[in-house]
Structure 1
Amino acid sequence: MRIHVLRGPEIAPDKPHTFQVDLRGLVDLLSHHLYSSPRVFLRELLQNAVDALTERRVHEPDAPAHVRIHADGTSLRITDTGIGLTETDVHTLLATIGRSSKRDAAHGLETARTDFLGQFGIGLLACFVVAREIRVVSRSARTPDTPPVEWRAHDDGSYTVRTLPPGEHPHPGTTVHLTARPGTEEWLTHDRVLTLARDFGSLLPHDIRVADQPVTDLPAPWDRTHPSPAARRAALATHCESLFGFRPLDSIDLDLPLVGLRGIAHVVPWQVSPAHRADHRVHLRGMLLTERADGLLPDWAYFVRCVLDTDALRPTASREALAEDEALAGVREALGRAVRDRLAELAATDPERLGRLLAVHHLGVKSLARHDDGILAALLPWLPFETTDGRLSLDEFARRHRVVHFTRTVEEFRQLAAIAAAQGVGLVNGGHPYACALVERLPYVRPGTVVAELDTGTVTDRLGPLPPGAEPALADLLAVARTVLDAHHCDVDVRAYRPVTLPALHLDAGSARPGPRTGAEERAGHRWGTGNRDAPHDDAPRARLVLNHNHPLVRRIATLDDPQLTATAVEALYGQALLTARRPLRPVDHALLDRSFLALLDRAVRPPAARPGAAADSAPGHPAGEHR
């Protein structure tokens, strides 16, 4: 390695200087911190060997092309029949950090840079992660009459170069010897090296062996022939299980000839989070580049896992990830189209398989469909939505209802679903991810469909009026209810509506609108004089509890002549309405539920003689009429 050391007194003030380099520190930086794992040492060795084979085949198309690896736990030897190195190449390429044969035509290695796996000329230093010494013996195929040359380097940054007798390395090519660093012997065992070689090099187009065991497994799974489409799907599923540990719901062919990309996308059989980092396996000209490629697919396609080989994508400096550039952006868009086209194809040819896929990954597909009317139209009969008729597709729901009503929040849907269904109004829960946007796009992909938002104010306006003559009997109930619930910032109304099984309806503060006030409400507000008469018209939003006059319990509560029992019953109805609407309960709501439940339970279990108004009420510790 070339080191220029300039001592202070000899330095001219206006003369350019050369950086001083701490070789030990630089070797440590490159071999321990550039790469994520020691396992990459074998990839770098394979990469250099395959690049050497590629270069020799340019000049000698019929030259032998094989790589042989031997490992015994203390050392490793890898031999290739590639282009080899001259003594000048060794000094220039191995001894100068940052110099790469793949970008330096001055040394006779002129093959286009894209034909090589390596691009940065520092990969050999990765071997110092596991080795204390690296010995390279090479003979050049370009000058076969020159003797072989040896380059021996140590992890302290020192190296030596010498020529060898011709018989020590008689044929062109290169052999790299590694001597294990103490504590790293496990990385140089036969089994570990074979596993790593197959992981990194299974798609390399050369004869590569560890001892006598083959490494490559060609043709690639997506290029193999099968007797039937079913047999091919089964073979791809088995391959997916061996790589990713699952049998896919479907496998999607990926073929982009313009960027030399071929591969398969497998659909995960369980729900995954969009934030989960995808485990895509990307090979670069046959060599595994990464098992965790980011940004390979659009965000909506988080439910597939890819394995592919490409010629055109550019790796990062560590060659463990893809560089984010225009080429990757174009590939990402094209792969997204391939997944989209497969979904449309399943809709036309295999709806059963599509149904199984959407049952698990409908959110990801909905994310695509909100920006793609074509895929929304194609998948409309299969995309599931929560509705008042159960879990249905929008297509089926629109056939059942003249108007497709929807809510914008889950809370509104829970509050209004029972009321809407009882009135024959079809309602879609638009509060789930992407649901509202897709419902609003429905008229564009299904002409003639009418879509309308349904909020709590609209529903309140549709609730039936009270029967004639019912209002006076409700005045006392409303007065007590308004007083009790004022502390909860909740107004009270009484209507007659369906279903009759629902005694009370709780409407959120943000969407509840005050409806027409009944005469009973006006008289109750005036009688109790609490200022509540004007409360519904305050600017601050207030929730609303709508009691159902059709429910027998509400009518019985209106006949009570015990204000305390009436107040307890109102609190119980309020709490039950909160639970029915699945509202998040505040501490004050929990306290109200506990208080009303225990008070009603206490009254239910008291003997008749101990109820309010009886002599037993004045027993010690229980004053008459005490409301507990």
Structure 2
Amino acid sequence: MCRLQCVRINARLTFPEVVETIMSEWKRKIPFQVDIAGVIDIMGSSLYSRYDTPIRELLQNAHDAIMRRRRGDLQFQGKIVVRQDANAGTLSFTDDGVGLTPEDAENYLGTVGLGITGLIKRGTPPPSQQSGSADNGDLIGQFGVGLFSAFMLADRLVVESRNEAAESGVRWEAGPGTEIDLSNIERSQAGTTVTLILKSEYRFLAENSEAVETAIRDHADFLLIPIFLNDSDVRVNVIHAAWFDAQQDPESTELAIEEYFDETPLDVIPIRIENPVSISGALYVSPQRVPGFSDLPTVMVTVRRMVISRKLQGILPVWATFLRGCIELHDCSPTASREDLVRNRAFENVCEVLEQILFEHFDRLAETDPQRMESIVNWHRYSLAGAAIENERLRQILKQSYRFPTSHGPLTIQEILEKSEADPLFEDDVDRVVWYNPDRRQERWINSLFASHSAPCVSTFRSFEESLLAQCLADDFDAGIESDLRLATPTAPNFSAMILGVQDLEDAAPEWIQFLESSQARVLLGSFRADQPVMAFLNERHELAKSFEELKQRGEIPTGFQRLIDTHFADAPTSQNEIILNRNHPMISRALSQKPGTPLSCVVRLIVANALNSAGGTTTKEARQQQQDDLDWIAECLWGRDS
């Protein structure tokens, strides 16, 4: 239909000629069409996520106007006044900046995407804005959409302004449609007033001073120009914080952080660099513990002192979940909504430089103030350990500061490695052997076994600590040092001979393995101290699986959880607990000389069960019944002898 309407049909043409005419190529130029009401609706519903965003936009417009006036008058200070009128339902923003000419108002206020500040930054300012000279880095605006954001809150906008070089002012008024009213006015002072005639749902902004004050502080707390509310003599914004000083005083910065963020920092990291990127401000180690390893670190970020976000993510390394603070990023660009930063190469450079600064700071702290560094590591132990598994540079720092509980007391990773040199009498293919125990129930027992040995046994009661140790040993391998991480259990290479002093370790005979089946343990024979009949060693995963199995039999595990449990143990099967029967013990030796099933062998089975229980093992229902049967059988035999 569209093509038929574009072609005038000549009745004298044949049908093929008509078709050829219709199918011929055509082109034309059309202008972009802008639906102003649609643009305003997009700003309100999609571009900005906060209702107070227009307050930020109008404050930064006022800020830029004052900064432009300062270019022609270096002594000029300027101020911004926000006024509420509950009766009229208005909220206004007044600055004493450079102001607008009628031509400025006509050409730029009603043009979406074309702002005076943006033109100045691009080096093509309008004639009325060319006075003075300054670094354009002191200007905030960029996109030419700030004024239109006010339609989120207002049915109508009124702008009254006078350029400092003009004799009279200009009035610009618009609603959400496409018509703009423009007229001249008498205005004695240079500067601009933007008045919002608020929508009914936002009239509280004309009545509630606390809501407006909060919005000012949230967005403009650090702007260098003072902001006043309702002609108060007390400014709303802080303007300056010690962490923005060119030469930060550590004590002043710490006090400023404590006051502003309402928490006492464990450590302060002042930052001021210009190359390769410009970063200023301060980070600090928060006393607030964060849960787990997956929380992303957040920090307050300003660009030209305007707050972009108080909880910006992605700027700090993922391991720094415990850091907070405020940093000024002069080289980064805010998004059009000014609620985030553009994730471009400049942003990536800042991320890389910040991580390097943090590594260097904690390296230096570990060397110059090890006690403070250890305190930080202890306070944020799990976050740091979990993150260090994936970060070699962080592991190098933690080697000096992260202490594990061991059989020799708390030791740093480096101290553990130094004390774990391999015994050349037992080891000929590794330089280090690090023993570890992951089961808290065996801690005292395992520690007693290592008490007389130079090598410590490391307690790794959380699975990520075992992984951290393994990664540290892998780092040493890359440096040419071969190390082995071994579980403190009889079947681990050289554990029995070197640590336990057990000789001739071997699996028990099949009949004894079957007889002690209710223990659910691997049964070994060995020769060691004559006063100890049995040694028992638990396998943590085996005990966990056994506990889950009992819950399953009682029907106490939901189906969904049971599937997760089954998958977990299928991917990593459990090993057994282990017991060693001592050939040197008289009773064990006598029992082993007989076939299982005698009263003496039943005593051995009870001793094995007791050793496992003493080590912290759980007893199954079947094992408890077996123990009762053994006691009954022994009692019968003793009764018969007495009779």
Query: Shorter-normalised TM-score: what interval?
Result: 0.7 to 0.9
- Confirm or deny: 8 A CA contact 1:495 1:547 kept in the other structure: no
Aligned-pair CA distance for 1:291: 0.9
Match of 1:120 in 2: 143
Residue 411 and residue 88 in structure 1: after superposition, are their counterparts in 2 closer, same or farther (change >3 A)? Answer: farther
Write the mapping of 1:425-504 to structure 2, written as runs, cut at 5 A.
425-428=455-458, 429=460, 432=465, 433-442=467-476, 451-454=483-486, 459=492, 462-463=495-496, 476-481=511-516, 492-496=523-527, 500=532, 503-504=535-536
* In structure 1, C-alpha distance between the alignment counterparts of 2:96 and 2:388, rounded to whole Å: 50
Instruction: Report if the CA contact (8 A) 2:447-2:457 is conserved.
Output: no
SS in 2 for 1:317: coil
Alignment counterpart, residue 345 of structure 1, candidates 355, 364, 370 = 364
Given candidates 278, 284, 287, the residue that maps to 1:266 is: 284
- Counterparts in 2 of 1:209 and 1:277: CA distance versus 1, 3 Å: same
The answer on 1:217 being equivalent to 2:259 is no
Partner of 1:49: 62
Measured after TM superposition, the shift of residue 277 of structure 1 is: 3.2
For 1:607 and 1:557, locate their aligned partners in 2 and report how far apart those are by CA, in whole Å.
Answer: 14
Paired residue type of 2:620: L
**Residue type of the partner of 2:153?**
V
Match of 1:537 in 2: none
Look up the SS of the partner of 2:332 in the other structure: coil
Of the three residues 145, 153, 167, the one matched with 2:174 is 153
Partner of 1:336: 355
- Alignment match, 2:556: none
Say whether the 8 Å CA contact 1:251–1:266 is kept in structure 2.
yes
What's the counterpart of residue 271 of structure 2?
254
Q: TM-score scaled to structure 1, two decimals?
A: 0.74
For residues 17 and 261 of structure 1, the distance between their equivalents in structure 2, rounded to whole angstroms, comes to 46
Q: Tell me whether 1:320 sits opposite 2:339 in the alignment.
A: yes
Cα distance 1:130–1:578, how it changes in 2: closer, same or farther (>3 A)?
farther
Asked if the contact 1:139–1:149 (Cα under 8 Å) also holds between the matched residues in 2, the reply is yes
Alignment RMSD, CA only?
4.6
Deviation at 1:80, TM superposition (A): 0.7
**Alpha-carbon contact 2:591-2:601 (below 8 Å) kept:** yes
Q: Is the 8 A contact 2:285 2:323 kept in 1?
A: yes
Note closer, same or farther for the CA distance 1:64–1:450 as it changes in structure 2 (3 Å cut).
closer
Structure 1: gaps spanning 5 or more residues: 1-7, 511-539, 583-589, 615-628
Q: Contact (CA 8 Å) 1:477, 1:557: kept in 2 or not?
A: no
In 1: Cα distance, 2:376 partner to 2:482 partner: 29
Counterpart for residue 82 of structure 1: 97
1:562–1:96 distance in 2 versus 1, CA, 3 Å: same
Residue in 1 that maps onto 2:546: none
The answer for the alignment partner of 1:179 in structure 2 is: 197
1:243-322 correspondence to structure 2 within 5 Å: 243=261, 245-258=262-275, 259-272=277-290, 273-322=292-341
The counterpart of 1:39, out of the listed 52, 55, 79, is 52
**Correspondent of 1:548 among 555, 568, 580:** 580
Q: Give the match for residue 16 of structure 1.
A: 29
What SS does the aligned partner of 1:171 have?
coil
Going from structure 1 to structure 2, the CA distance change for 1:33 and 1:576 (only over 3 Å counts) comes to: farther
Matched AA of 2:182 = R
Question: Does structure 1 retain, via aligned residues, the 8 Å contact 2:248–2:270?
Answer: no
1:184–1:594 CA distance, 2 compared to 1 (3 A): farther
> What is the CA-CA distance between 1:255 and the residue it aligns to?
0.9
Conserved 8 A contact 2:205-2:211: yes
Unaligned runs of 5+ in 2: 8-24, 423-431, 543-571
Letter in 2 for 1:291: R
Secondary structure in structure 2 of the residue aligned to 1:549: strand
Give the superposition deviation at 1:263.
Answer: 0.7
Q: Which amino acid aligns with 2:513?
A: L
Change (3 A) 1:596 1:102: same
* Partner Cα separation in structure 2 for residue 18 and residue 106 of structure 1: 25
Query: Are the aligned partners of 2:297 and 2:313 in contact in 1 as well (CA < 8 Å)?
Result: yes
| Alpha-carbon offset, residue 186 of structure 1 | 2.9
Match of 2:559 in 1: none
User: Deviation string for 1:455-480 (max 9, x for gaps)?
Assistant: 56862554259889x99996642342
CA distance in 2, matches of 1:571, 1:126: 81
CA distance in 1 between partners of 2:225 and 2:532 (Å) = 78
Contact 1:406–1:436 under 8 Å retained in 2: no
What corresponds to 1:394 in structure 2? Answer: 413
- After superposition, give the CA deviation of every residue in 1:304-341 in whole Å (9 maximum; x if it has no partner): 11212232211112111111122122222222222222
- For residues 311 and 471 of structure 1, the distance between their equivalents in structure 2, rounded to whole angstroms, comes to 70
Distance 1:78 1:473, change over 3 A: closer
In the other structure, the counterpart of 2:117 is 102
Q: TM-score, normalised by structure 2?
A: 0.72
Q: For 1:69-123, what per-residue CA distance to the aligned partner results, in whole angstroms no more than 9, with x for missing partners?
A: 1124432111111222233322332222222223332634567764421211112
- Alpha-carbon deviations, 1:335-376, whole Å to 9, x = none? 222222222332233222222111123455565698566x76
Matched, 1:29 2:48: no
> Of residues 433, 450, 462 in structure 2, which corresponds to 1:405?
433
Deviation at 1:223, TM superposition (A): 4.7
CA contact (8 A) 2:470 2:485 kept: no
Specify which of 252, 262, 278 is matched with residue 232 of structure 1: 252
Question: Are 1:466 and 1:495, in contact at CA under 8 Å, matched by a contact in 2?
Answer: yes
Q: Partners in 2 of 1:161 and 1:405 — Cα distance?
A: 84
Name the SS of the counterpart of 2:410 in structure 1. Answer: strand
Cα distance in structure 1, aligned partners of 2:114 and 2:279? 29
